[in-house]
A and B are shown apart, each in its own frame.
Chain A
């Protein structure tokens, strides 16, 4: 296993280099003229003559050969300079750092209900294989799997906000936002609910929680479907194994067989899906954040794309790719640790 981990770690810089190359090449598809327009104020740009443009292009190095431009760009990256975000009205890196906690918070709150309910549904379906419950859960999964997230998100908003008035969109209510923005409110973790508790403001905690439940419901169905499918098929496979038959023939109660013997082993492949889910939640829940007007990486990327803010979208793409790479590395290594078959193999 050590060689596996070492190999993965050695490949890491290569993968990161490759990702930066792809992202940079994508930005170069814009062509020098459009790239220049991202450096220059649009009003001045419209008045510039062809000569001025040529001079400026030289000045910014846009006429340099590709490797030179790439080298300069990577050098800036290493300094943390990702350019200026028009949408965020601040440097791209700052914009990313300011928005990331909101996405983390949403992911944290989504994580537990998704994993808990998803696994429970999967195990239930497998235990009652081919019964009415199983069929019902399968249809539930099929719909969740096929339901476009934007349709479901709108429906959630329609039912729980417009209809029942429970879970409003946004990050916070206006009154709570004013308190959070004021100087007396201290930001320890930048996670709204936790900061509210640390500041002793239960009312703000409830307000933040109310705003987060809607998006969580909107995200959950698709991942429930995903998780329960994996759990169900993995559980079915385990239930056919010899050691389960042995346990049953020993006369152990069915509950013990399922909870002690089968479920633990059935959950091994679920770890990968759960890990991918965490990465998926962190690398931007674009649609849900947009529909619920929440601050976060996903809504930042979408707004930047709508306003053709190239520096910002490149920044988000690089940042989320990095998260994905590191996340996948952690999943693969922990998978190797959990599953002895892989460790020995």
Chain B
């Protein structure tokens, strides 16, 4: 086995297309891992903490209380009402619980909500929509409660941390104070919903701007193409790997169950597979994404739902074939246990074709996903995704008067996309050549 394995490895690493494919993919993996360093996201800075930050940088003993004061002021601005809000909403939750037990009428509950909206603790729509959509309002109120509970707990912890600061001095103080500041920053990012995968706007005009030192790939629709290409690598890997992995597992399960149990179960499962295969893949994915609602996650679900059938057929066929091979029959006749036969003989001969097929599907899956984004059905506006950048590019290139004027909008994301897919296809090709028994001579 190890001899065989060594020979296979040698065959793989002397295969030129394998080497090129692996090199390309390693290149992309490095880009994906180091994306935050290659294209650092513009992390929004909380202006209210600027003074504290400046003081901390030039720390001296007499500044200590100034810093603590700054932090306390910030705490007051952010968390002053947190405790009161929390108590008020806790009371409201009690009223809601009573309302569910029919101890309180809906009018009384409505009056209670009105009280809170009058104090600006809750948005007025909760009161206005109460009669129409009672259940929905109550559900959202519970979410609101959870949010405020979290905020209240955070306020207690951070106040404690600030108070702790008073007791320490010197370097220890600076260290702890920086921790508190970054804690506030993190909460700030959560509150405003900062996401590094959303490409920030870098200019005010929508017209593409050619590459410059600051933006090496140029700008299109106010987005830095370099940033989009680098972070889009992560999106591509995520879509390709997750979709293919999950759909392959589903296919493996259905195909092997069908082959193993046979009979009517096999018939039913394979006919279901046939039915799913009778719907055009691209259109089906498009329709299901539209119905589930646009977005990366829903697109991936759609691609998985209509992407498992090839694997199911492949594994079933392979298992059925392997079951009838003479060496398997011989092993059976010798009295080798079923488990041993499956692990030693059937699995190695059936799983590799599936893995090779999965590798080859990753490229085309990424193309399909990008095509959906290109049509405006996949990634949301501004999401770092190659297909989306290319769809911006189309509008400028087709609408442009001078064809070469906006070349950079298609060149860089296009090359990234093509290289990525070529990498996977070369790897798949090489794997097939190496593992295909017919090639072993």
Contact = CB atoms under 8 A, between A and B. Distances in A.
The range of chain A's interface size is 35 or more
B394 A291 contact: yes
The B interface is mostly helix, strand or loop, or mixed, namely: helix
Given A305-B377, A317-B287, A148 B367 contact: yes
B290 interface: yes
A305 B283 CA distance: 10
Given A150-B371, A151-B390, A162 B397 contact: yes
Interface string A135-146: 000000011011
Contact of B283 (A22, A150, A283): A283
B317 interface: no
B371 A287 contact: yes
B61 interface: no
A85 to B, nearest CB: 14
Interface centre among B367, B370, B393 (most CB of A within 10 A): B367
A2 interface: no
B278 A151 contact: no
A147 interface: yes
B278 A15 contact: yes
B422 A142 contact: yes
B272 A320 contact: no
Contact of A286 (B275, B282, B289, B429): B282
Contacts of B370: 148, 150
A169 B417 CA distance: 25
Contacts of A316: 283, 287
A162 B400 contact: yes
B71 to A, nearest CB: 48
Given A19-B278, A29-B292, A305 B363 contact: no
Contacts of B278: 15, 18-19, 321, 324-325, 328
Contacts, number: 139
A302 interface: yes
B271 A18 contact: yes
A321 B279 contact: yes
Interface string B407-441: 00010001001100110011001000000000000
14 contacts: A18-B274, A29-B291, A49-B132, A148-B421, A149-B371, A150-B370, A154-B397, A162-B398, A163-B403, A301-B283, A305-B290, A308-B290, A310-B290, A317-B283
Contacts of A59: none
B116 interface: no
Nearest to B363: A146
Interface of A: 11, 14-15, 18-19, 22-23, 26-27, 29-30, 49-50, 142-143, 145-151, 154-155, 157-158, 162-163, 169, 283-284, 286-287, 290-291, 301-302, 305-306, 308, 310, 313-314, 316-317, 320-321, 324-325, 328
Contact of A148 (B289, B397, B418): B418
B291 A151 contact: no
- Most chain B C-beta atoms within 10 Å of own C-beta, residue among A49, A146, A149, A283: A146
A233 to B, nearest CB: 10
A155 B286 CA distance: 24
Contacts of B276: 22
Contacts of A163: 403
Contacts of A19: 275, 278-279
A163 B290 CA distance: 35
A273 B378 CA distance: 29
Contacts of A29: 291-292
Contacts of B271: 11, 14-15, 18
* Top 3 A-B pairs, shortest CB-CB distance: A18-B275, A162-B403, A146-B421
A284 B376 CA distance: 17
B19 interface: no
B280 A321 contact: yes
A328 B288 CA distance: 23
B284 interface: yes
B184 interface: no
Contacts of A151: 390, 410, 414, 417-418
A284 B281 CA distance: 11
A314 B132 contact: no
Contacts of B145: none
Nearest to B360: A145
Contacts of A313: 286-287, 290
Given A15-B274, A49-B132, A148-B421, A317 B290 contact: no
Contacts of B375: 286-287, 290, 302, 305-306
